[in-house]
């Protein structure tokens, strides 16, 4: 007997229904074989066939929006407004990758014609393109039941690349996962592609089995540092190691210069408050630490944040385990020597997964203590932010150099100010620099970078959001002296797919 | 006291001189700190400054060619003609990457202007480019004392990317490594860049220390499966795992169709003989296994190979350890049940690191035995090739599906023949498909792909040869809503570096 997978309502803490059972190793194996068998046809469908499929999936998702949003809200307590936005983002992402396929530049086609006179040696005809890695395992995230789960960016980008996907459902929203998987499969069928390109498994052990399965060629993960590192280690320890794209935890530091604080303390306080409490602080880009100048304008930011924090009414967190971990992390930080609890929100009553928001404050010099600094420089997932008061730029820059890797780093500067030294240090520690803004609210565009140095991700060379997320699931293959008829269409001389290409060293538009 | 590093002549087996000592952990640490301190200036030099540096390094290398080739020949026994070619290849590679920097497309610039009306949400101005990872450790290869060692492709591509390099010298050619490091540093100085961008360490433990050092951000390795996997495991087990680009071992299978064998048996036999014995079989792309049809034309290929093998006069192998491993591997394979020794070359006399070439034969059905197949499908580094006689296409395709990952896979087909099924299977197992040719002799161009599925490399998504090798040492970084004056030149609106860019979704030439 395997364990049942229950759907729980975070607002009540009660189990609503049993939706599945945890997958046995044999069941995981069967899913992987099915996915592997579907790989060749998905690749052969070509960019055009897969673009049709992704658009059909987006259509199906929107057609089923009411039911999906209701289920996701019941399982996440994120509210239907936010979840409608998330569904819109998910269908937008599916269509964005359809556009990436239409464009075709992602194939990275490079053609070098034979050059018998080349020095130092003659060169044969060589043609290079990117090809799908094979079946991909995707681990759904707790905090985005749609946009980083079954119909999320990992799935969309992997399917776009031509890789079948098996999602390991997050235990916080198994019913949403089941429904979304059905919907995506319906989209595949509508486009004439096998529904086997999208599979779903439940259970923690099933997830580990997936990462170890020979048919799985890469992994996308969004979740906790502990769980993510354990799976990364499994992927790396395989007889044949596979790429593991894990987004683990991110501090997302914010620097407010003295000039910025003097110019617009209230505006910055209001922006930071919204950014750190939004979605009950359950965003991977939540600002967890803000450096403000010691002195009056810094105090004004701090006081604005404290006042807003006291007035904040948190809703339920996503799951009991997440709420409990947040409480433990918040208490651990509050008890550190030299750290003050500047404010705490009302602690809501009820049987749901509730916890108060908390604002901590600490003078910069306290962070010279390794234990204090290490703990405060570690993400606390949930509605908590630490305000660090620095006395001068030298102290600030020294602290910035000790920051861990983050998805984002934010600078608030004064009008015309150019904090070059701080920006240079932050650039080494983040994947996205935010100027005079707030890190939450990740735009999904061609230029998006959502990935940064460890521990924010296990592979800073990639992104899990935006058009270039497709690159994670591809590998190059070159053909030497191969007759045109035996080449994939992408490499044929006549360029039947009208792709941008680099030919004999020169970039060419179709 | 640390162990001395001796330079040995493979033709005599004698130590010629002591050139260095194995680095202590403190010395490795010092080298890493020096490299890290040089990183910012190397990045700030920009593509133009680094292009000048790479060209100066190529000039210095050529100016010192006589001395370098003499040293490398004394330490590798590869012969001055081959080594002059290798030096030409090395300086060509340095200049190729200078050209990659001139082009600038490698920076992958993507700009999305702010779009307040975007759906589902407004988009801020986002600008994405690739930036250097930081100091890179490069492990020199035994079999290319120049082109895959200190002045090789890993070094050239990492420096081009803006990453300082510390090379761990191969113990078979420490004096060559020392001299080449001096020459490259002279090139850096000539271009006005710190000589600290190129460091060198000696010793196996020093190599491991390098991979574990916090300042090292990525590793390039060419060498044995055992050594490479051990270092890959170290890199993956770090508190902050780093990318490890290892090229380990490759079988490089060759398929000869019945039609090809019937058309040109003698030509194929001669080509394969040259390819597998070239450089005493010490190429990563050496064809280790060839499938020929059972029957007369296949026998003609086999007999041609056998006759050529008997007449072959091997020169000394690179090192004692390599020769000993080759002998052991060749003997292990010869003793497998059902495997015949079709031919062996003269076993040269002398005190050098000598060993005979060996041609093995086996009927395809014998490979149904897991132990036999596993051993014969594993690379034997040195002048050994296995001829597998297949009876029909079904048997051939079944065997191809069991092949391990390789750098290359080669097909010899008859005129007008289209062996689509075989090509499709091979495509899944290799990084480069060679048509009617031979896998040795890797061209260095924009379209080159020298990397394939495990175990041929630890990361099939990259290449260690060709223009795109630079991608291994870069990570994306995005700037959000950042004033033009605070942006790196590559991202500024006016495009001062005249880079190809994708702007608002559309590829633009400068």
Binned average pLDDT, 10 residues per bin, chain A of 510 residues: 89 96 97 98 97 98 98 96 97 98 98 92 95 97 96 98 98 98 98 98 98 98 95 98 97 98 98 97 97 97 98 94 96 98 90 95 98 97 98 96 98 96 96 98 95 97 97 98 97 97 94
B498 touching chain A per CB within 8 A: no
Rounded distance between C-alpha atoms, residue A472 and residue A158, angstroms: 8
**Quick one: pLDDT at residue A63?**
98
The residue with tokens 């540096």 is B53
Nearest in space to B365 (alpha carbons), one of B337, B344, B342, B331: B337
B92 to chain A, any CB pair closer than 8 A? The answer is yes
Output the pLDDT for position B121.
82
Per-window interface: A 300-319 vs B, CB < 8 A: none
**What pLDDT score was predicted for residue A120?**
78
Tell me the pLDDT tens digit for each residue of B358-417: 999 999 999 999 999 999 999 999 999 999 999 999 999 999 999 999 999 999 999 999
Least CB-CB distance to B447: which of A112, A233, A434?
Answer: A112
Distance CA(B449)–CA(A197), nearest Å, equals: 28
Nearest residue on chain A to B417, alpha-carbon basis:
A486
**Strand pairing partners for B14?**
B9
What digits encode the pLDDT tens for the residues B53-104?
Answer: 999 999 999 999 999 999 999 999 999 999 999 999 999 999 999 999 999 9
Report yes or no: A475 at the B interface, CB cutoff 8 Å: yes
Beta-sheet strand order (sheet of B244-247):
B198-201, B165-168, B136-139, B218-222, B244-247
Nearest to B418 among A110, A418, A485 (CB): A485
Chain A residue nearest residue B134, CA to CA: A428
**Residue A247 is a catalytic residue:** yes
Does B233 contact A233 at a Cβ distance shorter than 8 Å? no
DSSP B138: E
Active-site residue (options: B22, B60, B86, B247)? B247
The pLDDT value recorded for residue A451 is: 96
Select the residue of B448, B468, B482 nearest A435 (Cβ to Cβ): B482
> Which residues in chain A have Cβ-Cβ distances shorter than 8 Å to B406?
none
User: Chain centroid to CA A35: how far?
Assistant: 23
Q: What stretch of H or E contains A132?
A: strand A126-132
Q: Is the pLDDT of residue B195 over 60?
A: yes
Choice among A32, A180, A284, A380 that is catalytic: A284
Q: Say what the pLDDT of residue A347 is.
A: 78
DSSP-derived pairing of the beta strands B14-21 and B4-9: antiparallel
**Orientation angle between helical segments B46-63 and B25-44, nearest 10 degrees:** 120
CB contact, 8 Å: A414 with chain B? no
pLDDT of residue A1: 54
Q: How far is CA B489 from CA A28, A179, A410, B157, in A?
A: 49, 47, 20, 21
Q: Is A254 helix (H, G, I), strand (E, B) or coil?
A: strand
Q: Report d(CA B358, CA B342) in Å as an integer.
A: 8
Q: What residues of chain A lie within 8 A of the CB of B477, using their CB? A: 427, 430-433, 449
Q: Which residues are bridge partners to A433 per DSSP?
A: A409, B479
Let me know if B284 is a catalytic residue. Answer: yes
List the single residue in A with minimal CA-CA distance to B235: A236
| Residue B223 pLDDT grade (very low, low, confident, very high; cuts 50, 70, 90) | very high
Cα dihedral B66/B72/B78/B79 (nearest 10) = 20
Q: Closest approach of chain A CAs to the CA of B334, in angstroms? A: 26
Please report residues of B whose CB lies closer than 8 A to that of A110: 446-447, 467-468
pLDDT of residue B348: 77
- What average pLDDT does the structure give for chain B? 97
| Chain B residues with beta carbon closer than 8 angstroms to that of A135 | none
Indicate the residue of B240, B459, B468 with minimum beta-carbon distance to A454: B240
| Distance spanning both ends of chain A, measured CA to CA | 58
Among candidate residues B136, B200, B199, the one with its CA nearest the CA of residue B170: B200
- Pick the residue of B411, B449, B457, B487 with the most A CBs within 10 A to test the interface with A by mutation: B449
Segment B318-334 shows an average pLDDT of 96
Cα separation of A169 and A202, whole Å? 5
Which residue has 């000790």 as its token pair?
A402
pLDDT for the residue numbered B1: 54
Give how far Cα A218 sits from Cα of A88, B32, B94, B459, Å.
27, 32, 33, 11
> What pLDDT sits at residue A351?
86
User: Pick from B458, B476, B486: which is nearest to A449 by CB?
Assistant: B476
| Closest-approach residue (CA) in chain B for A109 | B447
Q: A134, A133, A130: which is closest to A37 by C-alpha?
A: A134
Residues of B in contact with A108 (CB under 8 A): 468
């Amino acid at each position: 007997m395997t364990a049942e997978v229950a759907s729980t309502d975070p607002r009540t803490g009660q189990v609503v229904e049993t939706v599945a059972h945890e997958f046995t190793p044999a069941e995981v194996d069967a899913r992987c074989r099915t996915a592997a068998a579907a790989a060749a046809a998905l690749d052969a469908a070509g960019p055009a066939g897969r673009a049709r499929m992704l658009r059909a999936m987006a259509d199906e998702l929107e057609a089923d929006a009411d039911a999906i949003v209701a289920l996701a809200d019941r399982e996440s307590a994120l509210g239907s407004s936010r979840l409608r936005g998330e569904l819109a983002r998910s269908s937008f992402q599916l269509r964005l990758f359809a556009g990436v396929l239409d464009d075709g530049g992602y194939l990275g086609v490079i053609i070098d014609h034979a050059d018998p006179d080349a020095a130092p040696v003659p060169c044969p005809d060589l043609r290079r393109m990117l090809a799908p890695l094979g079946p991909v395992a995707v681990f759904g995230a707790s905090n985005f039941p749609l946009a980083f789960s079954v119909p999320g960016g990992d799935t969309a980008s992997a399917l776009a690349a031509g890789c079948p996907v098996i999602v390991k459902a997050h235990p916080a929203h198994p019913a949403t996962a089941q429904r979304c998987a059905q919907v995506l499969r319906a989209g595949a069928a509508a486009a004439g592609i096998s529904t086997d390109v999208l599979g779903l498994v439940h259970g923690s052990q099933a997830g580990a089995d997936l990462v170890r399965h020979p048919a799985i060629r890469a992994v996308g993960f969004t979740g906790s540092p502990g769980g993510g590192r354990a799976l990364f280690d499994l992927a790396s320890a395989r007889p044949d190691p596979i790429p593991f794209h894990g987004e683990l935890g991110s501090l997302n530091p914010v620097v407010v210069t003295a000039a910025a604080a003097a110019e617009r303390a209230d505006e910055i306080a209001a922006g930071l408050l919204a950014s750190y409490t939004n979605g009950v602080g359950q965003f991977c880009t939540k600002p967890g630490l803000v450096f403000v100048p010691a002195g009056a304008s810094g105090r004004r930011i701090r006081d604005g944040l404290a006042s807003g924090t006291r007035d904040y009414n948190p809703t339920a967190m996503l799951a009991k385990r997440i709420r409990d971990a947040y409480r433990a992390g918040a208490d651990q930080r509050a008890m550190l020597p030299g750290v003050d609890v500047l404010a705490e929100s009302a602690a809501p009553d009820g049987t749901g997964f509730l916890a108060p928001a908390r604002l901590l404050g600490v003078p910069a010099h306290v962070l010279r203590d390794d234990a204090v600094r290490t703990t405060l420089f570690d993400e606390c997932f949930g509605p908590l932010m630490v305000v660090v008061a620095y006395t001068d730029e030298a102290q600030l820059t020294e602290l910035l150099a000790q920051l861990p890797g983050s998805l984002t780093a934010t600078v608030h500067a004064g009008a015309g100010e150019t904090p070059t030294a701080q920006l240079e240090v932050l650039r080494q520690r983040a994947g996205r620099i935010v100027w005079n803004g707030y890190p939450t609210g990740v735009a999904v565009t061609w230029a998006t970078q959502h990935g940064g140095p460890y521990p924010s991700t296990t592979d800073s060379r990639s992104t899990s959001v935006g058009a270039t997320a497709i690159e994670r699931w591809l590998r190059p293959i070159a053909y030497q002296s191969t007759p045109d008829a035996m080449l994939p269409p992408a490499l044929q001389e006549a360029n039947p797919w009208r792709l941008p290409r680099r030919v004999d060293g020169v970039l060419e538009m179709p």
